[in-house]
C-alpha cells in the first residue's frame, strides 16, 4: 500500500502574523485545530463571504488529505456587530430587525439557516462545531471580568472598553498601523475613549429605549462587543493556543488585532490565540469589494436563478489563489460552469471504460458527502500507483502544499484525464483523490445536474436535452438550417450554445 500522505511534500502556509510562508507544524502531531470567523447574520451571505468559507473548507480538506484530523469551529455572530468595525455606529442586527419589521431572533435564525444552506450547496463540510454568540453570553461576561481584574479595561457611560496601550505590540497583525488615525473619522466618536484603537468589551444599552437583545452584566444591561465572542469561543473549544485562525483580510486590520489583545490580557502574552493566521483576499466586482453594507451584492441564489450551478462558483474560487483578489464577472463564472461540465463529462466517460464498477464505490467509501466523517482517502490509493500516477499526485501535492496553490493544482485534473499512459481505473482513483481536496463532487454529479435552467427559461430540462440531441443530429446530417433554427429556439429560451467548442453539446445559460 502506498502511504502517500505520509511521504508527501511538507506543508507550508503563509502566516499573516509573520508575513512569511512557514512550514506548518500542528501543535499536536496529526491533529489540527482551526477557528474561522463566521458571518454576521443580519442579511444573506454574499458571494464574497462565501469565498471565505470555500477557502477555509479547502484548507480543511487538504489537511485531511495529508492525514490530519481537523477540529473546525465556525462561529455565528448574531449579536454585537456594529455598522463600523471601529466600534461605532449602530447594531447591524437591531437595524435589520427595524427595517425588516421582524423580531431580531427570527432574523438571526432565518439568515443562519440561509447561510448553512449556501455552504451545503457549495459542498463545504460541516464544521465540527457551529458556535453561536448568543449561546455564550455568560462565558463572555466571565471573560470580561478577568480582563477587568487584570487592569486592561476602563468604564465609560457607554460601556466597558479595552485599553489597547496595556498590551505590548498591539496591532502587529494589521497591515496598516492605526495609531495616527483620527478617531471616528467615519462615524460618531465615543466620548471618553482614551485611544483611537480602544474597543468595546461590553456595550451598555442607552438609557432611553431597550435593545431587543440585551443581558444584565456588572457594567449594566447591554450586549457584548463584537470581538469578545471570538476570543471566548475559540479559547473555550480549541484552547488558548491552537493551530490556525482564518478570516477575510478585513479582519486582519481590526477584529483579529482586538481578539489577540483580549487573548493576551486573559491568558498571558504568549497566548495570542492561533499559531498561524490565514486570511483570504476579497472577491471584487466592477464596483469594488463586495460588501453587505453596500446593499447591491450577489448571493448564491441569484447565481442559481441565472442558471449557474453552485459548484461552478466553487471552481471559480479555486481558480484564483486565496491570497489574491478574485475578480468576479458572470461571464467568467459561466466559463467555469462549462469547465466543470467538461470535467464531469470526462469522468463519466472514463467510468464507462472500466469494466468493473468497483470505482463507483470510491466516493461512498471516502465519505464524500458525509461531512464530519471525512477521513484520509486510504482506499483510493490501496492499489499501488504506477510511476506516472505517482508523478501526477506528487505534482498536485507539491502545489497544494505550497500555501494551497489551487490554480496550479487544478490543471492536474486535466493532465490526469488526458494522460496517455494510464488506464482508466487508475485515472479515476487519482481524480477521486484530488477531488477530496477540491470538493467539486466530480463523481457524484451528472452533467445534467449541472444544467440548471435560468429561472426565466421557458423550456424544461428534458426539452432542452431533446433539442440539443436534435441539433446534433442535424449538424451530423449537414442540415445546418435546421441546426440554426434549433439554436435560435434555445437562445430564445435562455440557453446559449458554445459554438466553436467541441463537443458541440456544450451550452451555458444565456447571460443578459
Ligand atoms: P461578515 O458576515 O461580514 O462578518 O463576513 C464573513 C466573512 O466574509 C469574513 O471572514 C469576512 O472577512 C469575509 N468577507 C467579507 N467580505 C468579503 C469579500 N468581498 N471577499 C471575500 N471575503 C469577504
Ligand atoms: Zn471573529
CATH number where 367 lies = 1.20.120
In short, whether 291's Cβ falls inside 6 Å of ligand 1 is yes
Mean pLDDT in residue range 266-288: 92
Same domain assignment for residues 417 and 345? yes
317 lines ligand 1 (CB under 6 A): no
Which of 35, 49, 326 gets mutated to test ligand 1 (max ligand atoms within 8 A of its CB)? 49
Pairwise pLDDT comparison (375 vs 212), residue with the higher score: 212
- Residue 85's pLDDT is what? 60
Model confidence pLDDT, tens digit, residues 33-78:
999 999 999 889 999 999 999 999 999 999 988 889 999 999 999 9
Atom of ligand 1 nearest to the CA of 49: 8
95 located within any domain: no
* pLDDT mean across residues, the chain: 86
Contact between 486 and 470 (Cβ < 8 Å)? yes
Number of neighbouring beta carbons within 10 Å of residue 190: 20
Residues 418 and 492 in one domain: no
> Which tops the pLDDT comparison, 429 or 281?
281
Which of 403, 438, 473 is where one domain is finished? 438
For the segment 303-335, what is each residue's pLDDT rounded down to a tens digit?
998 889 999 999 999 999 999 999 999 889 989
| Greater pLDDT, 29 or 3 | 29
Distance 37 CA to ligand 2 centre (A): 4
DSSP secondary structure code for residue 476 in this structure: H
93 close to ligand 1 (CB < 6 Angstrom): no
pLDDT at 95 over 90: no
Residue nearest to atom 8 of ligand 1 (CA): 49
Which one has a higher pLDDT value, 88 or 268? 268
Question: Is 227 inside a domain boundary?
Answer: no
Q: Which class for 400: exposed (0-12), middle (13-18), buried (19 or more C-beta within 10 A)?
A: buried
CB atoms inside a 10 Å sphere around CB 301: 15
Q: Determine the pLDDT at residue 188.
A: 52
The share of the chain scoring above pLDDT 70, in percent, equals 84
Range of the domain at 305: 300-438
Question: What's the pLDDT score for residue 99?
Answer: 77
Residue 493: pLDDT over 70: yes
> Is 58's C-beta closer than 6 angstroms to any atom of ligand 1?
no
CA distance 74 to 77: 10
Residue 283: phi and psi, rounded to 5, are -90, 130
Amino acid 368: pLDDT: 44
User: Is the per-residue pLDDT at 291 higher than 70?
Assistant: yes
Is 491 inside a domain boundary?
A: yes
Question: Could you say which ligand is closest to the alpha carbon of residue 251?
Answer: 1
Percent of the chain with pLDDT over 90: 58
3-state SS class at 186? coil
Flag whether 250 is in a domain.
no
Cα–Cα dist 506/502, whole Å: 7
Average of per-residue pLDDT across 367-392: 59
Mutate-to-test residue for ligand 1 from 34, 226, 245, 248, highest number of ligand atoms within 8 A of CB: 248
What pLDDT band is residue 156 in, cutting at 50, 70 and 90? very high
Ligand number with the minimum distance to the CA of 280: 1
The reported pLDDT for the residue numbered 55 is 98
* Residue 329 sits in the same domain as residue 426: yes
Please state the rounded mean pLDDT for residues 369-394.
63
Q: Which three cell numbers stand for residue 441?
A: 463532487
Q: 124 C-alpha vs ligand 1 centroid, how far in Å? A: 16
Read off the pLDDT band of 378 (50, 70, 90). very low
Residue located nearest, by CA, to atom 2 of ligand 1: 39
Which of 38, 114, 250 is the best mutation target for the ligand 1 pocket, counting ligand atoms within 8 Å of the beta carbon and taking the most? 250
| Ramachandran angles phi, psi of 344, nearest 5° | -65, -40
Contact 401, 8 (CB under 8 A): yes
Residue 336 and residue 412 in one domain: yes
The alpha carbon of 57 is separated from its chain's Cα centroid by a whole number of angstroms, namely 6
pLDDT of 132 above 50:
yes
From the centroid of its chain, how far is CA 97?
26
Q: Per-residue pLDDT averaged across 445-468, rounded?
A: 75
Residues 384, 304 within the same domain: yes
Quick check: 355 and 391 in contact, CB under 8 A? no
Q: What is the pLDDT of residue 450?
A: 81
On whether the pTM is more than 0.75, the answer is: yes
pLDDT at 227 over 70: yes
Compute, in angstroms, the gap from residue 47 CA to the centroid of ligand 1: 9
Average pLDDT over residues 85-102: 72
Question: For residue 370, is pLDDT > 70?
Answer: no
* 343 shares a domain with 383: yes
| Tally of domains within the chain | 2
Long-range contacts of 373-380 (CB under 8 A, 24+ apart): 374/61, 374/64, 374/125, 374/436, 375/64, 376/5, 376/64, 376/65, 376/66, 376/67, 377/65, 377/432, 377/433, 377/436, 378/1, 380/429, 380/430, 380/432, 380/433, 380/436
Q: Is residue 443 part of a domain?
A: no
Please check whether residue 405 lies inside any domain of the structure.
yes
- Name the residue among 320, 318, 107, 80 with its Cα closest to residue 200: 80
**Could you tell me the three cell numbers for 282?**
476579497
- Quick one: pLDDT band at residue 185, thresholds 50, 70, 90? very low
Q: Whose CA is nearest to atom 4 of ligand 1?
A: 39
The pLDDT score that the predictor gives to residue 86 is: 58
**Is the domain of 423 the same as that of 477?**
no
Q: Which of residues 147 and 308 earns the better pLDDT score? A: 147
In terms of C-beta distances under 8 Å and separation of at least 24 residues, what long-range contacts does 415-418 make, across chains too?
416/392, 417/343, 417/346, 417/347, 417/350
Same domain for 503 and 377: no
Using pLDDT thresholds of 50, 70 and 90, give the confidence band for residue 475: confident
User: Cα separation of 445 and 33, whole Å?
Assistant: 31
pLDDT at 346 over 70: yes
pLDDT value at position 393? 92
Cβ count within 10 A of residue 329: 12
The whole-angstrom separation of Cα 205 and Cα 80 is: 12
Residues 129-156 have a mean pLDDT of 97
Model pLDDT, residue 358: 60
Residue 479 has pLDDT above 70, yes or no: yes
What CA dihedral angle connects 117, 123, 128 and 129, to 10 degrees? Answer: -20
Q: Is 60 exceeded by the pLDDT of residue 1?
A: no
**Among 438, 473, 496, residue at a domain's last position:** 438
Question: 393: CA distance to ligand 1 center in Å?
Answer: 32
Q: Three-state DSSP class for 412? A: helix
| 431 close to 288: Cβ distance less than 8 angstroms | no
Which residues are in the CB-under-5-Å shell of ion ligand 2? 37, 230
Evaluate whether residue 179 is within a structural domain: no
Q: Do 401 and 312 share a structural domain?
A: yes
Judge if 321 and 430 occupy the same domain: yes
Q: Which three cell numbers stand for residue 330?
A: 458572470
Relative to the alpha carbon of 252, which ligand is closest? 1
406: in domain:
yes
CA of 405 to the centre of ligand 1 (A): 21
Q: Environment class of residue 208 by beta-carbon count within 10 Å: exposed (0-12), middle (13-18) or buried (19+)?
A: exposed
432 and 382 within one domain: yes
Cα(400)–Cα(407) distance, integer angstroms: 9
Secondary structure class of 90 (helix, strand, coil): coil
248 lines ligand 1 (CB under 6 A): yes
Q: Is 376 helix (H, G, I), strand (E, B) or coil?
A: coil
Q: What would the DSSP string read from start to end of 114-150?
A: HHHHHHHHTTPPPPSEEEEGGGGHHHHHHHHHHHHHT
Task: Single out the residue in 407, 438, 469 at which a domain terminates.
Answer: 438
Cβ of 49 closer than 6 Å to ligand 1, yes or no, is: yes
Which of 41, 52, 58, 78, when mutated, tests ligand 1's pocket best, judged by the most ligand atoms within 8 Å of its CB? 52
Q: Domain check: are 363 and 488 in the same one?
A: no
Amino acid at each position: 500500500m502506498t502511504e502517500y500522505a505520509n511521504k508527501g511534500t511538507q506543508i507550508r502556509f503563509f502566516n499573516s502574523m509573520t508575513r512569511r510562508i512557514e512550514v506548518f507544524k500542528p501543535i499536536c502531531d496529526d491533529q489540527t485545530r482551526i477557528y474561522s470567523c463566521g458571518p454576521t447574520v443580519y442579511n444573506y451571505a454574499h458571494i464574497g463571504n462565501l469565498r471565505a468559507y470555500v477557502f477555509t473548507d479547502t484548507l480543511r480538506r487538504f489537511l485531511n488529505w495529508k492525514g490530519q484530523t481537523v477540529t473546525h469551529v465556525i462561529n455565528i455572530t448574531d449579536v454585537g456587530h456594529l455598522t463600523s468595525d471601529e466600534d461605532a455606529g449602530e447594531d447591524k442586527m437591531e437595524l435589520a430587525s427595524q427595517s425588516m419589521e421582524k423580531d431580531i431572533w427570527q432574523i438571526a435564525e432565518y439568515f443562519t439557516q440561509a447561510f448553512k444552506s449556501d455552504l451545503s450547496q457549495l459542498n463545504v463540510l460541516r464544521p465540527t462545531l457551529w458556535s453561536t454568540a448568543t449561546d455564550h453570553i455568560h462565558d463572555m461576561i466571565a471573560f470580561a471580568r478577568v480582563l477587568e481584574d487584570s487592569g486592561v479595561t476602563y468604564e465609560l457611560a457607554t460601556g466597558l472598553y479595552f485599553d489597547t496601550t496595556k498590551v505590548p505590540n498591539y496591532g502587529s497583525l494589521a497591515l496598516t498601523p492605526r495609531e495616527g488615525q483620527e478617531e471616528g473619522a467615519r462615524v460618531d466618536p465615543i466620548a471618553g475613549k482614551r485611544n483611537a484603537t480602544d474597543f468595546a468589551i461590553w456595550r451598555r444599552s442607552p438609557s432611553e429605549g431597550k435593545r431587543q437583545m440585551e443581558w444584565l452584566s456588572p457594567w449594566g444591561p447591554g450586549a457584548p462587543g463584537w470581538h469578545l465572542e471570538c476570543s471566548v469561543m475559540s479559547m473555550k473549544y480549541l484552547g488558548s493556543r491552537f493551530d490556525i485562525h482564518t478570516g477575510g483580510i478585513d479582519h486582519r486590520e481590526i477584529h483579529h488585532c482586538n481578539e489577540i489583545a483580549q487573548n493576551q490580557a486573559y491568558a498571558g502574552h504568549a497566548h495570542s490565540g492561533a499559531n498561524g493566521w490565514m486570511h483570504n483576499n476579497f472577491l471584487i466586482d466592477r464596483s469594488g469589494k463586495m460588501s453587505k453594507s453596500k446593499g447591491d451584492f450577489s448571493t448564491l441564489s441569484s447565481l442559481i436563478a441565472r442558471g449557474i450551478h453552485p459548484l461552478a462558483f466553487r471552481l471559480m474560487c479555486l481558480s484564483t489563489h486565496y491570497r489574491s483578489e478574485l475578480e468576479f464577472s458572470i461571464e467568467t463564472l459561466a466559463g467555469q460552469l462549462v469547465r466543470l461540465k467538461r470535467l464531469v463529462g470526462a469522468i463519466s466517460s472514463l467510468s464507462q471504460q472500466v469494466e468493473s464498477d468497483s470505482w463507483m464505490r470510491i466516493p461512498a467509501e471516502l465519505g464524500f458527502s458525509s461531512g464530519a466523517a471525512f477521513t484520509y482517502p486510504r482506499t483510493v490509493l490501496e492499489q499501488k500507483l504506477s510511476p506516472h500516477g505517482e508523478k501526477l499526485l506528487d505534482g498536485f501535492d507539491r502545489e497544494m502544499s505550497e500555501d494551497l496553490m489551487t490554480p496550479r493544482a487544478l490543471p492536474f485534473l486535466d493532465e490526469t484525464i488526458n494522460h496517455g499512459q494510464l488506464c482508466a481505473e487508475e485515472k479515476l482513483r487519482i481524480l477521486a483523490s484530488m477531488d477530496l481536496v477540491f470538493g467539486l463532487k466530480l463523481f457524484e454529479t451528472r452533467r445534467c445536474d449541472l444544467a440548471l435552467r435560468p429561472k426565466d427559461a421557458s423550456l424544461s430540462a428534458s426539452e432542452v436535452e431533446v433539442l440539443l440531441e436534435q441539433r446534433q443530429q442535424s449538424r451530423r446530417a449537414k442540415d445546418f438550417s435546421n441546426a440554426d433554427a434549433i439554436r435560435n429556439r434555445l437562445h430564445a429560451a435562455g440557453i446559449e450554445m458554445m459554438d466553436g467548442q467541441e463537443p458541440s453539446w456544450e451550452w451555458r445559460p444565456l447571460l443578459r
